[in-house]
Amino acid sequence: MQDDFDSDADERPSRSQLKRDAEALQELGRELVGLPQARLDRIELPEKLRDAIALARRITAHGGKRRQLQYIGKLMRRIDAEPIRARLEAMQQADHRAAQRFHHLEALRDTLIREGDAALGAALEDYPHADRQHLRQLIRQARQEREQDKPPAGARSLFRYLRELDEQPT
């Protein structure tokens, strides 16, 4: 009889584990509340949860907001939160990749302005469909503006052109 009790205890999660799981779901709910509405609309949510999130956004009192977040966590315990978590993770990864791409283009622009034609070959290897003459003209304009301490309109134009090249299929 003692063995039956021990085997049941091993199969159930501990109270501490249940509490950690509930807190993780509440944290996920807090992330959902903090998302911009356009991003939240791209995540499939039950209507009751969507309404609770909308209400949490309108609540300004600290205690009321805390209770509403607890309620959102309670609602999330009743549904399968994995698809929501996966969608949120995919959105965060897409943001991270976009930020990396942006930083890469900024670095390429700065290198082209700093080194000129010496760095042009490497840029044309990355973007073989680029208009070489237009790219050189933009680089030359950005370099002149930098040397004359003018506003960086040429550097912005160069960045826009590099972004267009990056978005084009190769």
Here the tokens at position 69 are 């977040």
pLDDT in tens, 56-69: 999 999 999 999 99
- Better-predicted residue by pLDDT, 33 or 9: 33
pLDDT in tens, 62-115: 999 999 999 999 999 999 999 999 999 999 999 999 999 999 999 999 999 999
Q: Which domain holds residue 10?
A: 2-79
In the block, residue with structure tokens 């670095």: 107
CATH number at residue 111: 1.10.60.30
Residues 57 and 100 both lie in one domain: no
9, 41, 155 from 151: Cα distances, Å: 70, 39, 9
Question: How many angstroms separate the CA atoms of 170 and 152, rounded?
Answer: 29
Reference 59, options 50, 69, 49; nearest CA is 69
Judged against a pLDDT cut of 80, whether residue 1 lies above it is answered with: no
pTM over 0.85: no
In this structure, are residues 155 and 109 in contact, taking their beta carbons and an 8 Å threshold? yes
Residues 70 and 114 both lie in one domain: no
Question: How many angstroms separate the CA atoms of 21 and 63, rounded?
Answer: 22
Q: Per the domain annotation, does 85 fall within a domain? A: no
In this structure, are residues 43 and 32 in contact, taking their beta carbons and an 8 Å threshold? yes
Domain count of the chain? 2
Alpha helices, H only, 45-116: 47-58, 62-77, 82-115
